[in-house]
Structure 1
């Protein structure tokens, strides 16, 4: 399947997920409830700490994406990074900065990172999505599980 078709399917799926599976709306805060927050100015935005998971067949290459859901507003661009992906993974990083905006109190799928995973041995592969505005940094856990078949 071509990369363009896969990207279009990912966007369509992501939009459907936002409509049906986005975390419940809550007032954005700068607390430990939002994954992990580093010292700095109080953030006016919040990255959901809802763990993104991909449970895939072991020993086969696989393409997927991870979405960071963000509520609140920010006046400086947000930078996105992912650490801890399995060796040999190809990503859409560096992610372009997310322009200033206001999502209100709704968590919206704002930070999208696509990944082409190499064939993985059976097991769990934890990673972390990091989003920063330069003053505040927040994280979202990611888990890639290589198993007998597709599905968590």
Structure 2
């Protein structure tokens, strides 16, 4: 249990503390994202989340938060998540996202294969409950495995 809380903190707080490149602002909502190779996870954390540690496996983490009213903390929210990933060779991958909830925190994990120096473009569509138009974003990430 201690590892899960640490992992959650690692995945959710790091984007909020870094540059705005790890977040998209949609007015009422903010989407935080993080992509990394699974070999960077400590073994206990990978086991707790059912993730195979491998430098050839990428992990995408997403969190959708509703902006707070003054004096309140942001609230993570449920969302329908669709992720398409494409590399420079044009290979398209539809990623399955797994919802993970711990207490009030909600985030979505997707796993995918990567090769050395591969650049992956993620096209993401998130639809929080009650929202008509999906929140859409795109970003590129290069992965190094050697």
Give the structure-2-normalised TM-score. Answer: 0.48
Structure with the greater relative contact order (CA < 8 A, sep ≥ 6): 1 or 2? 1
- Normalization by structure 1: what TM-score? 0.47
